[in-house]
Structure 1
Amino acid sequence: MIHSLSLADVVADHARSRPQVTAVVDGDLRLTYPELDARVTRLAGALAGAGVAGGDRVLWLGQNSYAVLELLLACSRLGAVFCPANWRQSEDELRFVLSDLTPSAVVWQPSDLTTALRAGAARTPAWIQAGDEYERLLADATPREFAQVADTEPVLALYTAAFSGRPRAALLSSAALVAHATQLLVVRQMEPGFTFLNNGPLFHVGTMMFCLATLQISGTNVFTPAFDPQEVCRLIDAERVTQAFLFGQMIDAVTQANAGGKYDLSSLRFVSHSAEWDDMITVDDSPWCRSKMGGYGQTEVGGMLTFLGLAEGGAGFAGRPGPLVQVRMLGPDGEEVPAGEVGEICARGKTLFSGYFARPDVNAVKLAGGWHHTGDLGRREPDGTITFIGPKLRMIKSGAENVYPAEVERALKTHPAVADAAVIGVPDPTWHQAVKAIVALRPDAQVTPDDLVEHVRGLLASYKKPRHVEFVDAIPKHGFTPDYDALDRAHGGGNYPGI
């Protein structure tokens, strides 16, 4: 395995190369890289002693903690798969995760929810309570040698959005995570000494990808259970944090929490946001921050597939692919569509996931032809950059032309009177299907169907414009996406190709 580099290998090498660097900060706990590596070795032995073997799953039920990183690295060392569950989910949703993932061990933080889950759990798997029990298990463990695990083996499972009714666990290998971390640290221009505040949820790839990029560059990961503006300010000041998981309203909350200037936030090298914010921090000039941290991504690609920071001034607002991946826009026939036309965003390369856990039928479809079919629509612009259109979901066939609802919806939503919109196909005696727009207007806004049709005609090819427009109070949703089945039932949808 001369070419293999697992996450456990990364931390072991840092232990040799950077023995005095602080790897982890969590409350009073501070670990250097040698200390982290030693704990990971003991934890791997403890998990093996609890019955966890190669290929088994280990589930974390709790908020952010140093234990999340330790468990991931320990699973890398023994060849198991680690999954941090979404602690914001309901009891029913977490019971589904338990039954779907079938973990060999569950490490849990006490709460009303996890206590109820524990009480109703079967004798197996092993349940290990975070805190004292976890530390005793680690202290009593006998370090052992493990055979080297190929870096192509899955090590991290993250549950993705439940567009099909229930979520699926995307499996990411050490090789994919190391590759993605390398791309990210280049675009973000991370250097040794980089300190990341893990205040966003670690069950989300957006936080996890920065945690692992920080590990990759031998930086310092600071952990806090969840986002709290005052605590974020304190930790940035105390630990001289370089970057945190902050967007939009979170930035505003931190700005307000530090309105009196109690904390020194100047170590934070971050994106420009407002005059007050910019005065508190150091506005960063990396491509990542100059481009407002933009691009296109999803869990299945390790985080980011394309970066605006690689396409400053480009026509496409999703930027260009990272250097370790390939991206194509494929049509329904699996062939690449020409630049300027909409197709499904498909990808392959070093950062891609290994498929979904226990979903062979889904994997056969999603990975058909050697490409990951993202389920999202995009367009290659003439300058080679990429524009993200929206979720694919379904296609409308009007005459000989393919019409993707997400593209028409995007055009509709640019009208100032439109609060939300969804597009369905309705049977048409001449064209097989016609485009129908279901539109929710902003309060007190007024617009006619003809106005909206002409608005779309000015943005898209004429055949994509709606032939029918209906106004409603609100668009029914599945998560963040329209509930197209409900819309079809309510508004006469049908005749979809292949259905």
Structure 2
Amino acid sequence: MIHSLTLSDVLAEHARSRPLGTAVVDGDVRLTYPELDARVSRLADALSARGVAPGERVLWLGQNSHAVLELLLACSRLGAVFCPANWRQSADELRFVVDDLTPRVVVWEPSEATTATREAGAATGAWVRAGDGYEELVAGGSVRDFPQVSDTEPVLALYTAAFDGRPGAALLSSAALVAHSTSLLVVRQMEPDFTFLNSGPLFHVGTMMFCLATLQIGGVNVFTPAFDAEEVCRLIDAERVTQAFLFGPMIDAVVAVRPQGKYDLSSLRFVSHSAEWDELITVDDSPWCRSKMGGYGQTEVSGMLTFLGLAPGAAGFAGRPSPLVQVRILGPEGDELPVGEVGEICARGKSLFSGYFARPDLNAAKFAYGWQHTGDLGRREPDGSITFIGPKLRVIKSGAENVYPAEVERALRGHPAVADAAVIGVPDERWHQAVKAVVVLEGGASVPAEELIGHVKGLLAAYKKPREVVFVDAIPKRGFTPDYDALDRAHGGGNYPGA
């Protein structure tokens, strides 16, 4: 395996090449690269003793922590697969993840949903409590050598794509993640002293891709459990953070907090946002930040497939492909479409995923005709750049989160008073879109909108619940599926991604 380079290999090299370099900061935890490497070896040994062998899964149910990076690297060392699950999900959603992934080990932080999931007896492995339990796990292992692992084996699983009402775990290999990191650090112009604040969720590829690119360049990963504007300000000042996971409403919250304190945010080299924000930070001139962090991506391509930063002034607002991939616009029969015609964005290359865990039929469709099918529509412009049109199956974008109508519709239909339901996105000034439900009640049934909203909130993450419910006599259909265009026209839908 002389040509292989896993995430574990990247860490092992940094332990030798950067013996004094800080790798991780998390509260009182500060680890150099050699210290991180030793902890990862002990953790891998301890996981192995609990049955984590090549191909087995390890699940994290909790907020951001240095443990997330350590577990990922330990799984890389073993040839296993690590999954950080969305801790904001309901107990029902988490039970599905546990039953679907069948992890050998679950590391969990107590919350109402995780505790209910554990007590419900969802498909088991060893359950290790985060904090003291996790530290005991690490301390119980030994530093030893491990067999070499191929970098083409899956190492990271991220749940995504709930188009049929239930999500699937996209499997990403070390080779894909290293390739994506290499492209990202070039477009972002990352340097070895790059310090990234993991202020967004690590179950989201937007945070994870920068965490791993920071590891790749030998920088510093700073962790905070979840976004808190004042704590973000404090950490940027204290750790001289270069970049953080931030988007519009989060930036506005930081601006609102900053005048109340004495935090120096000038180390943050970030995208221009507003006059008040730009005065606090250093506006970055890298291609990534100049282009407003633009491009087209998804979990299945490790983050970004195209970068606007590689196409200044181009016609296509998704930019041009990463240097390590090919992109084609294909028709339904797998033929490449002429310039200017809309078809499915498809790809080949180094940073693409390995398929969904335990979804053979879906994987066959995803890799039809020898290309990875993204499920999104696009167009090749005359200058060769790419324009993203929108999902083939509709998605609602609320803040930084994707909400898939099928998932919310499934929850609504589970209410005994609901005969049918469809979900659309309506424009929202703050969050880009809000969720709106169109509901048909069973004959003679009566139920307040607030009850249906609460019903969905009890089954799904809170950000997926409808903000508004309207009642109708029938849902317009195209075949067996809702006619979303007609629903948009009737009920004020719009502002979808790519529109």
**TM-score greater than 0.5 by the shorter chain:** yes
- The worse-fitting range, judged by mean Cα deviation, of 132-141 and 9-18 is 132-141
1:490 aligns with 2:475: yes
Change (3 A) 1:352 1:261: same
- Contact kept? 2:59, 2:103, Cα under 8 Å: yes
Code of the residue aligned with 2:64 in structure 1: it is N
1:253 aligns with 2:238: no
1:82 aligns with 2:82: yes
What is the rounded CA distance, in whole Å, between the counterparts of 1:441 and 1:125 in structure 2? Answer: 42
What is the rounded CA distance, in whole Å, between the counterparts of 2:229 and 2:168 in structure 1? Answer: 32
- Report the CA distance between 1:494 and its aligned residue: 3.5
Match for residue 109 of structure 1?
Answer: 109
Q: Secondary structure of the equivalent of 1:490? A: coil
- Contact kept? 1:329, 1:336, Cα under 8 Å: yes
What is the rounded CA distance, in whole Å, between the counterparts of 1:247 and 1:330 in structure 2? Answer: 32
What is the rounded CA distance, in whole Å, between the counterparts of 1:226 and 1:4 in structure 2? Answer: 34
Change (3 A) 1:159 1:439: closer
- Report the CA distance between 1:52 and its aligned residue: 0.9
What is the rounded CA distance, in whole Å, between the counterparts of 1:362 and 1:73 in structure 2? Answer: 28
What is the rounded CA distance, in whole Å, between the counterparts of 1:476 and 1:295 in structure 2? Answer: 32
Change (3 A) 1:316 1:48: same
What is the rounded CA distance, in whole Å, between the counterparts of 2:427 and 2:122 in structure 1? Answer: 51
Change (3 A) 1:259 1:72: same
Change (3 A) 1:392 1:139: same
Match for residue 308 of structure 2?
Answer: 308
Change (3 A) 1:61 1:158: same
- Report the CA distance between 1:51 and its aligned residue: 1.3
- Contact kept? 1:294, 1:318, Cα under 8 Å: yes
Give deviations 1:145-178, integer Å, cap 9, x for gaps: 2210000000000000311110000000000000
Give deviations 1:364-400, integer Å, cap 9, x for gaps: 011112211111000001011111000113xxxxxxx
- Report the CA distance between 1:333 and its aligned residue: 1.4
Change (3 A) 1:442 1:279: closer
Aligned pairs for 1:411-422 (under 5 A) are none
4+ residue runs of structure 1 moved beyond 4 angstroms? 438-443, 473-481, 486-489
What is the rounded CA distance, in whole Å, between the counterparts of 2:174 and 2:195 in structure 1? Answer: 22
- Contact kept? 1:339, 1:382, Cα under 8 Å: yes
Match for residue 376 of structure 2?
Answer: 376
Q: Secondary structure of the equivalent of 1:253? A: helix
- Contact kept? 1:487, 1:493, Cα under 8 Å: no
Code of the residue aligned with 1:14 in structure 2: it is H
Aligned pairs for 1:220-259 (under 5 A) are 220-259=220-259
Aligned pairs for 1:256-335 (under 5 A) are 256-260=256-260, 262-335=262-335
- Report the CA distance between 1:120 and its aligned residue: 2.2
Change (3 A) 1:212 1:474: closer
What is the rounded CA distance, in whole Å, between the counterparts of 1:442 and 1:43 in structure 2? Answer: 46
- Contact kept? 1:85, 1:159, Cα under 8 Å: yes
- Report the CA distance between 1:259 and its aligned residue: 1.7
- Report the CA distance between 1:143 and its aligned residue: 2.6
Match for residue 462 of structure 1?
Answer: none
- Report the CA distance between 1:110 and its aligned residue: 1.6
Change (3 A) 1:224 1:39: same
Change (3 A) 1:219 1:487: farther
Change (3 A) 1:99 1:441: closer
Count of equivalent residues: 422
Match for residue 33 of structure 1?
Answer: 33
Aligned pairs for 1:137-216 (under 5 A) are 137-216=137-216
Give deviations 1:62-105, integer Å, cap 9, x for gaps: 00000000000000000100000000101000000000000000
Give deviations 1:291-335, integer Å, cap 9, x for gaps: 000100000000000000001111111000000000000001110
1:340 aligns with 2:345: no
Change (3 A) 1:283 1:392: same
Q: Secondary structure of the equivalent of 2:226? A: coil
Change (3 A) 1:488 1:281: farther
Change (3 A) 1:166 1:474: closer
- Contact kept? 1:8, 1:76, Cα under 8 Å: yes
- Contact kept? 2:64, 2:202, Cα under 8 Å: yes
- Report the CA distance between 1:490 and its aligned residue: 2.5
Match for residue 460 of structure 1?
Answer: none
Change (3 A) 1:474 1:93: closer
1:132 aligns with 2:132: yes
Q: Percent same amino acid at aligned positions?
A: 76
- Contact kept? 1:301, 1:352, Cα under 8 Å: yes
Give deviations 1:432-489, integer Å, cap 9, x for gaps: xxxxxx999989xxxxxxxxxxxxxxxxxxxxxxxxxxxxx967599699xxxx9996
What is the rounded CA distance, in whole Å, between the counterparts of 2:123 and 2:249 in structure 1? Answer: 43
Match for residue 6 of structure 2?
Answer: 6
TM-score, structure 1 length as denominator?
Answer: 0.81
Larger radius of gyration: 1
- Contact kept? 2:68, 2:84, Cα under 8 Å: yes
Change (3 A) 1:306 1:81: same
Give deviations 1:197-222, integer Å, cap 9, x for gaps: 00100000000000000000000000
- Report the CA distance between 1:141 and its aligned residue: 1.2
1:24 aligns with 2:7: no
Give deviations 1:17-39, integer Å, cap 9, x for gaps: 00111000000000000000000
- Contact kept? 1:488, 1:494, Cα under 8 Å: no
Match for residue 62 of structure 1?
Answer: 62
- Report the CA distance between 1:137 and its aligned residue: 1.6
TM-score, structure 2 length as denominator?
Answer: 0.81
- Contact kept? 2:102, 2:123, Cα under 8 Å: no
What is the rounded CA distance, in whole Å, between the counterparts of 1:488 and 1:159 in structure 2? Answer: 35
What is the rounded CA distance, in whole Å, between the counterparts of 2:299 and 2:191 in structure 1? Answer: 25
Match for residue 119 of structure 1?
Answer: 119
- Contact kept? 1:25, 1:223, Cα under 8 Å: yes
What is the rounded CA distance, in whole Å, between the counterparts of 1:170 and 1:91 in structure 2? Answer: 21
Segments of 5+ residues of structure 1 without an aligned counterpart are 394-404, 410-437, 444-472
- Contact kept? 2:266, 2:280, Cα under 8 Å: yes
Q: Secondary structure of the equivalent of 2:259? A: coil
CA RMSD of aligned residues (A): 2.6
- Contact kept? 2:94, 2:113, Cα under 8 Å: no
